Structures are given as C-alpha cells and as structure tokens.
Chains A and B, each alone.
Chain A
C-alpha cells in the first residue's frame, strides 16, 4: 500500500515522497508536489502513447474521472489489473475519482443516495454500491471515496452541511465495502473534505475524515469545476486551507483538483497541498492556447514573449488562433525543449487551428503538458533550494493586473 514520506516543510509548503507503489517497479518513487496526467477513460486527451512518452517530467500518475469510464468498467473487470490492463497504462499509477475537473459539475442533482456525474452519456446517477462496483472493476492504485462536492461560493450553509454529512456517510460505506473487497485490497482510499467556504464545516469535515483509516485527503467543493474553476482564486481560501490542514496528519498526502493557473498552484502548494491535476493545460489546449509563462529562475523571457502574454486575453498563455501568428516562424515558445518547439513554428500550429486539423490539439497538448510538468519540476527544485518565494514573485509578476488581483496581498503570507 502506498506510503507518503514528508521530507521537508518550508512555511506551509511540503516536499514529499510517495513510495511503495507496488504497481510500478519497486524502486520507483514519486516526488511531491506533483500533478497527475489527465486521462479520459485511461487515455490522455489527443496524444498517443508514443508521443506522451517523449514528454519530459511526465508524471507517473494518471487521473481517471468516473464520467469517462461509463463504458469501460465492465470490460476492465475481466482483467487481473483492471483498467491498467484494459487501457494499456502499465507505466502509470491509476487514480480514479468521482468528478471530472474539466467538466462543469451538475448543480443540485445529488440526493440522499446518489451522486450525479456528467459524461458523454449525459447525466448519470451513481449509488455507493454502483460506485464501489465500478472501482472493483477499475482496480485503481488510489481512489476517492464517493462524495458530494456540489458546492461553491454561493452555497447555503444548509446545503454545505448536508454535503459534509453525506460525504462522511459515503466514506464510511465505501470503507466498509473496501475492507471486504478482495480486488481493492492493494488500493489506497482517499477521504474527501467538503464544507465550501464555511470554516466551521471545513474544520469539522477535516477532523472527522482524519479519524477514518484513509490513505490521504482530497480537498474539494469550492466551485463546480469546468471552465468556471478558472476564476477560482486559491488566495481567497488560503487561510481556510491552512486551518483545515491543521486537522490532518502530516504523513498523508493532500490532493486538490481543479487548481488552474501557476499562481494558484503556488498558493496551494504554500498552503500544504501535495497533489494536483492537469485540467489547466487541457483547457488551454482545447481553446487553441499555448502556455508560455516563464518559470525559469535562470532565464528571463524574451521581450517579444512578454509582450504577447501581456496582450493575451488569458494570463500565462497565448492564443494561437490569433491571425498575428499567420507568418510567425518562431517556435511556440522560444527556448522550450519540448517535441513541438524543437520542430514546429507558431505559423504551422496557427495553420492547423485555422483548418481545424486534429494535429493542432496534439501538438498543443504536448507543449502544454511539457510546460506544466516542467513547472512542477521547478516547484520541487525550488523547494529543495529554498527559493520558492523567488518563483512566486516571478510568476506573480506575469499576471496581468486586474482589479481583483491588485487588491490581493502580494506575498506568500
């Protein structure tokens, strides 16, 4: 069973190690903070295996949301190693979860006994029994207990309390079934913390979940995921997170899905989060955007690059649909060592986008994954070298000043 070793704590930020991952070779460990590769039904979006393998710092954990599994699990059950055999993902740790952070979560669709997820088959309502049956088929290395994460800034106190209670009940039921399951014997079960923006509920949820024999914690229920999550600011809740992680044991990993931009990732790392997902590079790719924020503490980005980020409607990325790139023969990001930037020009990617060719998404996904994974590597290196504050300053300086960001405090606090 997976173990988490905390190797260093700086402020709230944690440098850790996931070990005893028996499905990978015994010597393989995973350093945190890290992010997981987003997959749909066990396959990365757009990018085939051979190309994925060319990406530097590729995380060894794949993240598989329930809504992308609707047609898989019955066949996966026929394999000894479940989804890992079925989807040919032996080189990955499989993490299976309830909601897809790239999809808008349905609002007010959960009830006492079922949780709703949106997939390509539309809305699907899942009971604890069904959920655990699916997990038995999938046979993940880690998975999340069923949870009611339908909460956001505007959720009522009553709704939040209900979500916390339901989620705790689901956890108890999942644990009971988990302990009886032969197939899930080696899988790690994560408890989910709810409570929206209510401090009291959050702390209660954390305290109660920490009492249960879970392998780690997942902090959800701040927004309904999907594109709206891009407006979610970790800085708004960093004090809340600090309060709730006080209730959590230090030797278990903490995961927070749907954290998007690099400044938010750094806020969350600093609040003590260890594991993230890759909703952000996926979103950027589906829009035709390339991540271009500079996280290298050695290199300054070119003036031209700084200009194009500044003029971009989205921070930290450039929109390659823009006609200004028609004749731009420079790589997607100057100095980037990824497969795409070593070969292709902005003009070519722009051409592929304009002609709606599939290769556009493939190339952008490769670059965006490479860039995001590289950013996480820099976070780990910065933690080791005690220079996370410099990284934070560098990233924050690239965020265009909007009204909301100006009023926010500008330190790691």
Chain B
C-alpha cells in the first residue's frame, strides 16, 4: 500500500553497493542518488527546468522553513510544493526537528515533542510528531521523514539512550498521524549516536515497523569519520535489502563513494550549492577557489569534461572576473557543482551496473589523492567491504 517500489538493478559483487530503480509518485529515481537541498522551495539561483536538464531526479525541501513561510496551508491550497515551485520530479521533506534544534536557541525535547520559543513572535510552540506529519502532508513531498529526537552526534550517555527509544516511539506516532500513505512515503530514522549497541537496537526496532524506507540519522554533525563509517555499515547490515537507505546530511565526494560501498542509496547535503556561493567549484581532484588570483588568465573551463552550461561557455578567467561580484556567478557555479554531483553519482551507478565499482573506487581515490595519502577512515571502511586501496597487487 506504500507509494514506493524499489527494484534492485545490479549489485556489486565485492562491496555492499547496489543500483536500484526507486519508483515514487512523481518520478522514478536511479539510486545511488544525490539530492540537492532546496531549503525554501528553490535551489540557489537555479530553475527547476535547469535542474531537470542536469538530470536531478529528487530534491529536498525543509519543513521548518516552508512551515514558517509560505506556510503549509498556502502550499496545500496551491496543490503542494511541486506545484508552488514548478518542480515535476520527486521531493523529500525533512521533519523540521533537526533545524529546530540547530537553528532555534531555546528548544527543549519533551515526550510530547520539541518545545521551542518561536524566533518570529517569541511565543512558546510545540512541534509534535503529529504536527510534523501534518505539515509534511500539506507540503506533499514524495518522501517525508519522521520526527526524531535529535541529539548532537558527540553526546554520550543516558541522553542518547533516551533519544533512541523516543525516536522509535515517535515513529509509531508518525505512522498513525500520516494521512496520505498512498501518495507519500514515510521514512523512519535510525538513531543511537555513536554507540554500536544502541544503533543496532534502534535499527532492529525500526525494521519491525512497515515503513517504505529508512534513514540513518545523527551522523552529519562533527563526529569523526572513524565513527561515521562504523555506524553506517552496521545499520545497512540490519536494514532490509528491499527498502531504500538514506544517509542524511552526507555529500562530500569521498564520503559518497565510501558510503555507497557500505550500502547506502540516498544522500543529501547543502555543500555543493553553499560552496558555490563563495565561488568554489567542485572537481574530481578537490575544488577550485575561483576568486583566487591564479585563475585571472586561466583559459580552461572549470572542468573540460563537464557538459554543464557553465563549462560549455565560460573560462575560469571569466568566472574569476565575475565571481562573488555578480549574483549570476552564483547560479553558474551552482549549476556546475550540481552537474558535478550528478555526474559522480551517474558514474558510480554505471560502474556498479558493469560490476567494476571496486576499480572505480581505486581510480577515484587516486585522482583525489595523487600522492596516495588516503584518509585512514576511508581505507578502513573500504577494507571492511573488500576494496583494498593500499594493496598494490590487487587490480
């Protein structure tokens, strides 16, 4: 009865990576997929049509922001966020809880929900699991997220235990409150901090609930990558194969490649568009700070192989001359950065389909780290799924 179907197209014969077709009400999404974040019903200076041309299949909206402006009732009245922003493909909304905790200073978790002082009119308000789902039902995204009890990923002790159990209880309340399961897919979020036992327990509890998909939450804070990959791989071992796994808040190229190998299907991150605003363009070897004087007469495009509008038309030198001065430069660099993320994911998918993902990983790392000074966590993580970056003899 869910509005999601996941068909596994190929599986990597070495790692846990897989390639799927995820059919949602508005579009069929190829996974592993990167989802750009369009916080307030728009993605920084890019039109939905341009996004479609870049092969973006699903994007995010933020419930906290959209719930405040223009408000759920208005979005519902115009026929949902899809209609309001004229985006024909898939949308995912978060629960609003994470931003509540990170943006609103005075917030407090109670069993009922997140109690907070509105930064707009100073009134005391409450975001309950029911309220979050009600707003998300009004917004109408293809995938909606449960309200979870968010604690900082570096928190330890009883608060993490409480948050984990509460998140499970809140999932039940969200399932009950969800009014449109035939049109929108509610995902549970695995919590449990950096504690393997708690994560395991949470994942097992969540799996008992018949929701269309699961997210791995609470790992995009300041935690060391050492912990991140262990929590991820532990979660994907427990989560059912026939349901999508969404790793929240992860979007750096290296993290994407590793976490795909660990079995994740969906990712989101504000980084590609946020960094564009500061004139930083993503390339396979890292990033170019276009403001830098070294580009003043650099007649190459950002990336000679990139097919985006920016790379087809402009040199680094021209972008250098307008970057951070003309707002259109923000659109141009964003277009490229989204194209970069989309190309990376499509290369990953193709290599999985052709069962050469391990080789893709080795090539990717060599291009990013030509001196082979690979980050230790990535070496360990990949070792755990059978890809040995430092082993010269395995090709």
Binding site for B on A (CB under 8 A): 40-41, 43-51, 71-72, 74-75, 78, 86-88, 120, 326-327, 329, 343-345, 347-348, 351-352, 354-355, 357-359, 361-362
Q: Is B77 an interface residue (CB 8 A)?
A: yes
When distances are taken between beta carbons in the complex, the residues of chain B under 8 Å from A71 are 296, 320-321
If A46-B331, A72-B321, A75-B296 are given as contacts, then 19 extra A-B residue pairs at C-beta distance below 8 Å, sorted by A number, are A40-B322, A41-B322, A43-B328, A44-B328, A51-B50, A71-B320, A71-B321, A78-B299, A86-B318, A88-B318, A345-B78, A347-B84, A348-B86, A351-B40, A351-B69, A352-B42, A357-B42, A358-B44, A362-B47
Question: Which B residues, 41 to 96, have Cβ-Cβ distances below 8 Å to chain A?
Answer: 41-42, 44-47, 50, 65, 69-70, 74, 77-78, 84-86
Complex contact A358–B70 (CB within 8 A): no
Given the complex of chains A and B, what is the CA–CA distance between A88 and B327 in angstroms?
A: 17
When distances are taken between beta carbons in the complex, the residues of chain A under 8 Å from B288 are none
| Given A75-B321, A86-B315: A351 touches B47 (CB 8 Å cut-off) | no
**Minimum-distance CB pairs A-B, first 4:** A358-B45, A88-B313, A359-B42, A71-B321
Complex contact A50–B309 (CB within 8 A): yes
How near does chain A come to B41, taking the closest CB pair, in angstroms? 7
With CB as the reference atom, state the residue of chain B lying closest to A71: B321
Subset of 6 A-B contacts with CB under 8 Å? A71-B296, A72-B321, A327-B77, A345-B84, A355-B65, A359-B47
Complex contact A361–B42 (CB within 8 A): no
When distances are taken between beta carbons in the complex, the residues of chain A under 8 Å from B322 are 40-41, 43
How near does chain A come to B160, taking the closest CB pair, in angstroms? 34
Complex contact A75–B69 (CB within 8 A): no
Complex contact B326–A41 (CB within 8 A): yes
When distances are taken between beta carbons in the complex, the residues of chain A under 8 Å from B65 are 355
Q: Is B208 an interface residue (CB 8 A)?
A: no
Given the complex of chains A and B, what is the CA–CA distance between A344 and B49 in angstroms?
A: 13
Q: Is B317 an interface residue (CB 8 A)?
A: yes
How near does chain B come to A46, taking the closest CB pair, in angstroms? 6
| Given A51-B47, A357-B40, A358-B331: A41 touches B321 (CB 8 Å cut-off) | yes
When distances are taken between beta carbons in the complex, the residues of chain A under 8 Å from B321 are 41, 71-72, 75
| Given A86-B317, A88-B318, A355-B69: A48 touches B74 (CB 8 Å cut-off) | no
Complex contact B78–A49 (CB within 8 A): no
When distances are taken between beta carbons in the complex, the residues of chain A under 8 Å from B77 are 327, 329
Among B40, B41, B47, B318, contact of A87 (Cβ-Cβ < 8 Å):
B318
With CB as the reference atom, state the residue of chain A lying closest to B50: A50
How near does chain A come to B87, taking the closest CB pair, in angstroms? 11
Given the complex of chains A and B, what is the CA–CA distance between A231 and B270 in angstroms?
A: 43
Q: Is B258 an interface residue (CB 8 A)?
A: no
Residue of B46, B47, B315, B327 with highest tally of chain A CB at under 10 A: B47
Q: Is B120 an interface residue (CB 8 A)?
A: no
When distances are taken between beta carbons in the complex, the residues of chain B under 8 Å from A49 are 309, 313
With CB as the reference atom, state the residue of chain A lying closest to B317: A75
| Given A75-B296, A120-B325: A48 touches B318 (CB 8 Å cut-off) | no
Given the complex of chains A and B, what is the CA–CA distance between A411 and B315 in angstroms?
A: 51
Contact digits for B301-322, partner A, Cβ 8 Å, 1 yes 0 no: 0000000010001110110111
How near does chain A come to B98, taking the closest CB pair, in angstroms? 19
When distances are taken between beta carbons in the complex, the residues of chain A under 8 Å from B40 are 351-352, 355, 357
Given the complex of chains A and B, what is the CA–CA distance between A175 and B83 in angstroms?
A: 57
Among B297, B326, B335, contact of A43 (Cβ-Cβ < 8 Å):
B326
When distances are taken between beta carbons in the complex, the residues of chain A under 8 Å from B50 are 48, 50-51
Given the complex of chains A and B, what is the CA–CA distance between A261 and B317 in angstroms?
A: 37
Complex contact A329–B297 (CB within 8 A): no
With CB as the reference atom, state the residue of chain A lying closest to B330: A358
Complex contact B70–A347 (CB within 8 A): yes
When distances are taken between beta carbons in the complex, the residues of chain A under 8 Å from B42 are 352, 357-359
Question: Which B residues, 323 to 362, have Cβ-Cβ distances below 8 Å to chain A?
Answer: 325-328, 330-332, 335
Complex contact B309–A348 (CB within 8 A): no
Among A46, A86, A120, A351, contact of B70 (Cβ-Cβ < 8 Å):
A351
With CB as the reference atom, state the residue of chain B lying closest to A73: B321
Residue of B65, B69, B330, B335 with highest tally of chain A CB at under 10 A: B69
When distances are taken between beta carbons in the complex, the residues of chain A under 8 Å from B326 are 40-41, 43, 45
With CB as the reference atom, state the residue of chain A lying closest to B320: A71
Among A86, A348, A361, contact of B84 (Cβ-Cβ < 8 Å):
A348
When distances are taken between beta carbons in the complex, the residues of chain A under 8 Å from B45 are 358-359, 362
Complex contact B78–A75 (CB within 8 A): no
Given the complex of chains A and B, what is the CA–CA distance between A48 and B326 in angstroms?
A: 11
Complex contact A48–B335 (CB within 8 A): yes
With CB as the reference atom, state the residue of chain B lying closest to A86: B318
When distances are taken between beta carbons in the complex, the residues of chain B under 8 Å from A343 are 86
Given the complex of chains A and B, what is the CA–CA distance between A43 and B335 in angstroms?
A: 16
| Given A43-B326, A88-B313, A351-B41: A326 touches B331 (CB 8 Å cut-off) | no
Given the complex of chains A and B, what is the CA–CA distance between A344 and B44 in angstroms?
A: 17
With CB as the reference atom, state the residue of chain B lying closest to A360: B42
When distances are taken between beta carbons in the complex, the residues of chain B under 8 Å from A345 are 78, 84
Given the complex of chains A and B, what is the CA–CA distance between A270 and B313 in angstroms?
A: 40
How near does chain A come to B387, taking the closest CB pair, in angstroms? 39
Given the complex of chains A and B, what is the CA–CA distance between A330 and B315 in angstroms?
A: 40
When distances are taken between beta carbons in the complex, the residues of chain B under 8 Å from A48 are 50, 309, 328, 331-332, 335
Complex contact B74–A327 (CB within 8 A): yes
Given the complex of chains A and B, what is the CA–CA distance between A347 and B335 in angstroms?
A: 25
How near does chain A come to B292, taking the closest CB pair, in angstroms? 13
When distances are taken between beta carbons in the complex, the residues of chain B under 8 Å from A74 are 297
How near does chain A come to B278, taking the closest CB pair, in angstroms? 14
When distances are taken between beta carbons in the complex, the residues of chain A under 8 Å from B332 are 48
How near does chain A come to B236, taking the closest CB pair, in angstroms? 36
When distances are taken between beta carbons in the complex, the residues of chain B under 8 Å from A359 are 42, 45-47
How near does chain A come to B306, taking the closest CB pair, in angstroms? 15
How near does chain B come to A342, taking the closest CB pair, in angstroms? 10
When distances are taken between beta carbons in the complex, the residues of chain A under 8 Å from B74 are 326-327, 347
When distances are taken between beta carbons in the complex, the residues of chain A under 8 Å from B314 are 87-88
When distances are taken between beta carbons in the complex, the residues of chain B under 8 Å from A326 are 70, 74
